Amino acid sequence: MIGSLSRETKVMVQGITGRMGRTHAALMRAYGTNIVGGTSTRTDMTEAAGVPVFPDCAAAVAATSAVATVAMAPPLETHAAVQEALAAGIKLIVTVAEGIPLHDAIAIGRAVRAAGATWIGGSTPGMAIPGEIKLGFLPDVCLRPGPLAIMSKSGTLSYEAGYRLAREGLGQSLWIGVGGDPVKGVRFADLLPVFFADNRTAGIVLVGEVGGTEEEDCAKVYARLGARKPLYALIAGREAKEGVSMGHAGALVFGETGTIASKSGRLRDAGAHVFDTVDDLIATCARDFAHLRT
C-alpha cells in the first residue's frame, strides 16, 4: 500500500485531541494530507484540527472510510491503539512513539501481519510521498518531489540529507522512517522491492546507524535482487561504544555485530555506495543525478 498512497488517501489520527495530535494533524492537513477525522477518549471534544473526533476507530472508519492512521499514542498505549485500528480495518498504521515495550512490539508485528496490514514504526518520524501526502512529522522544508527514495533509522540525519538534496534540486519519490526501536514493522530489506518497483524512484538513499543487523540484511537482499537501482548509504554512530545503546534502543553494538565496519563492508560488497559523511553522500548524488535536477 505504501507506494500507492496519494493526496486522496483517507487518513485519521488516533489521539488527535492531545497536544501532539492536534499540532501534527493540523500540519499534515496544511501539507495536503487528507486527514478525515481522529479519535479520542475525551467526551467534551467533537472537533480538533478542523476534523471530526470520534470515540474509537470503528466509529471513525464507519463515518469517514479512513484506510490509514497515525497513532499519536505513548509507548505503553501503542499496542492497544494498533489493535483498535486493525479491528476497524485500517491497512496502514504509523506509530511515532519511541520505546514500545519489546513484547508489545512483537505482538503488534504478529497482529499486523495476520491482518495483511502495514506497520511503520515504532520510533519513526513517519513517511511521505512529497507533493502528495505526509504521515507523521517530517519537516516540510526537507520534502520536495524528486527521483530519490529515502529510508532511514535516524530522523535528524535524514532531515539533513533530505534538506540538502532538496537544495540541490534532488527531491524524494518516497521517504520512509523505519524507526529506531529494535522491533519494528518495516525494515530496510522490506522496502527494497517497493523502491525497485516504483517508477518515480531512480536511486535509493539509506540512512542507517550502528546496532542490530538491519543494514547487513538489507545488503543481502540488495545483492539477491540484483542491485537494480543505485543505493547510497550513510551509517551513523562511528563513536558508539560496544554494549551501550546510543540514542535509539536498537542502536546497540555487541562484538562484531552491528558495527560500522560490518555494515559498511556488507553494503559495499553488495554493490552499494557507502559514505563517511553526509557531504560526500550529497556530492555524489548531485553528480550522479545531475540530469534529474529540478
DSSP string of 214-269? HHHHHHHHHHHTT--S-EEEEEE-TTPPTT---SSTT---BTTBT-HHHHHHHHHH
pLDDT tens digits for 96-112? 999 999 999 999 999 99
Instruction: Assess contact for 283 and 165: CB atoms under 8 A.
Output: no
Cell of 52: 471530526
Closest of 215, 218, 205, 209 to residue 164, by C-alpha: 205
pLDDT band at 133 (very low <50, low <70, confident <90, very high): very high
pLDDT tens column, 198-253: 999 999 999 999 888 999 999 999 999 999 999 999 998 665 555 555 554 544 55
Confidence of residue 128 (pLDDT cuts 50, 70, 90): very high
Q: How many CA atoms lie within 13 A of 63 on its CB side?
A: 16
Q: What is 139-292's CATH number, 3.40.50.261, 3.40.640.10, 3.20.20.450, 3.40.50.1820?
A: 3.40.50.261
Residue 291 clears pLDDT 80, i.e. is over it: yes
What does CATH list as the number for 2-120? 3.40.50.720
| Residue 254 pLDDT > 60 | no
pLDDT at 246: 52
Q: Can you tell me whether residue 175 is helix, strand or coil?
A: strand
Q: For residue 38, is the peptide bond before it cis, meaning its omega torsion is within 30 degrees of 0?
A: no
Instruction: List, in sequence order, the alpha helices (H) in the chain.
Output: 19-31, 57-64, 75-87, 102-115, 155-167, 188-197, 214-224, 260-270, 278-288
Q: Is residue 117's pLDDT more than 90?
A: yes
Catalytic residues, by residue number, are 248
The residue-averaged pLDDT of 82-86 equals: 98
Q: What is the pLDDT of residues 147-156, one digit of tens each?
A: 999 999 988 9
- Taking only Cα atoms into account, the Rg of the chain, rounded to an integer number of angstroms, comes to 19
Segment 180-192 shows an average pLDDT of 95
Question: To the nearest whole percent, how much of the chain has pLDDT over 70?
Answer: 93
Q: In this structure, what is the dihedral angle of CA atoms 15, 17, 20, 24, given to the nearest 10 degrees?
A: 90
In the chain, CATH 3.40.50.720 covers 2-120
| Whether the predicted pLDDT of 137 surpasses 70 | yes
Q: Could you identify the residue written with the cell 553522500? A: 281
Strands 34-39 and 10-14, bridge-based pairing:
parallel
Return the pLDDT at 243: 53
- State how far the Cα of 127 lies from the Cα of 174, in Å rounded to an integer: 8
Name which of 140, 139, 217, 127 is nearest 173 in CA terms: 127
> How would you list the strands of the sheet with 273-275, edge to edge?
133-136, 126-129, 172-177, 145-152, 203-209, 231-236, 273-275
260-270 vs 214-224: helix crossing angle, rounded to 10:
10
- Please say whether the beta carbons of 225 and 231 come within 8 A: no
Average pLDDT of the chain is: 93
1-15, 191-205, 240-254: which range is least confident on average?
240-254
